Homo-oligomer: A and B are copies of this chain.
């Protein structure tokens, strides 16, 4: 077989049935082998979204997602999505085509060659800072090793993207895979028992412990035992980061919901009250712990993270650093604690529970144009375990995070760290393809919509079960709020100067082959949602909301 055939067969052996791709001359053998192997190919309209779709696919399938792009601009177009997969630790493999080796700048060995063959760019140094592993295959004999290592890197340790660049002549080289060298995963360091003892010592001395569950809990699939043993049995309350807020219903006892700057005021208060924070798999970002880590000013902090450097960041005071995969650590610590006497935290937990309330900010009203808090709340309540909820940058991102309680096992996808604009559509595409039986309820804004509007065609062409709610608030509401706060209302963004928020959304929907629906009256939202969700067809829904929407800040505003 040729290298391209090996690639397709390798992906198939890893149970990857779908791939996100924009074809090109530079990847033509790969494209053809993917077709021959019957891996289903989903065409993206711009390579920028392929890694996002792959990341979303990876999350809903618990596998890796794969994107395949061509050389030069195909590869550089994919970088926005790659960056997103990197910061959010999504396990994806990007495979790029490349020109024949003798036309690569790599082979010139010279520093200031910008491009050599047709549409050639040395993609490696560009993607290296955004990947766990990136390599150009310059010798076909390394193919097997490289693919095995890439898959290992994407899915082990802190997950993340990898990139494999394959010159055209290598794609077409004959190989005998069983004769090629293979990759052997490194041995892992064992966790020292001393760390378990120290963990217990901190807990023993604590009166008001608080658990933080971050994305690591999701990836390691350890929430159920954390909740069962530490919360239900030992009464330690739990808060979530944005990445992990859909782990379970926020209405459960001991589950306090999403904390952070855009979380709730009562969570902020509990964070400040706590004397011990046990962090499982969150990076304790400023948007979560406060710009100066002030939320945890009175607490000792134990942090368990798979990435050592996250434990050693400046500005974050961690008293006990445990570098470990939660998959290994959580069972160990629970076994250890099981044999020890743990203080009774019931009254602390009850106190925390008593603070829980729905903190809809002052501005929420039953009115038209619709208050976005009102709409997002209704959407959250309407959805259930058959739904994947998605938010996009701006007001709907923050508000979704604030009002959704995940009572019915809904799952959520979003641009976690970046809150990047324009990702709802590609996230929806990847999720819908990965979980065909689920219905995707994706929210975007009229500003964010424009960034990847081309992928509306991907939704309509593949007839995905995606309901896309486009919040029409007449432009960049978040930007308006900042302009009003910092620059005396001198808005750089406004419809007259920039045309923002002036697209005719009905015509857009129709032009991209999507059915259109409009929500404009708060009184009909539930009825409208019932109509919208009753079939499997894609639908574009315009939601008319307030251009003067304010967003609640847990660290500043009054609740």
A residues with a Cβ closer than 8 A to B are 23-25, 28-29, 31-32, 34-36, 41, 43, 45-46, 48, 72-73, 76-77, 79-80, 82-84, 86-87, 89, 102-103, 107-122, 125-126, 128-130, 158, 160, 285-287, 291, 307-310, 312-315, 415, 417-422, 450-454, 457-458, 460-462, 476, 478-479, 482-483, 486-487, 490, 492-493, 497-500, 502-504, 507-508, 510-513
Contact = CB atoms under 8 A, between A and B. Distances in A.
A454 B453 contact: yes
Contacts of A313: 108, 110, 113, 116
A46 B451 contact: yes
Contact of A499 (B117, B120, B285, B461): B461
Given A118-B287, A451-B45, A504-B511, A310 B113 contact: yes
Contacts of A451: 45-46, 77, 454
A48 B45 contact: no
A498 B511 CA distance: 17
A98 B424 CA distance: 23
Contact of A80 (B48, B86, B291, B476): B48
A417 B115 contact: yes
Contacts of A111: 309
A114 B86 contact: yes
- What 9 A-B pairs are tightest by C-beta distance, nearest first? A461-B499, A73-B420, A43-B498, A507-B511, A76-B83, A511-B511, A112-B309, A110-B309, A87-B115
Q: Which of A111, A452, A479 has the most CB of B within 10 A?
A: A479
A455 to B, nearest CB: 9
A493 B418 contact: no
Contact of A507 (B158, B461, B498, B510): B510
Contact of A108 (B84, B285, B314, B452): B314
Given A457-B499, A457-B503, 12 more contacts: A25-B482, A28-B487, A46-B48, A48-B77, A73-B415, A112-B308, A115-B285, A119-B419, A126-B126, A461-B498, A507-B507, A510-B511
B103 A291 contact: yes
A461 B502 contact: yes
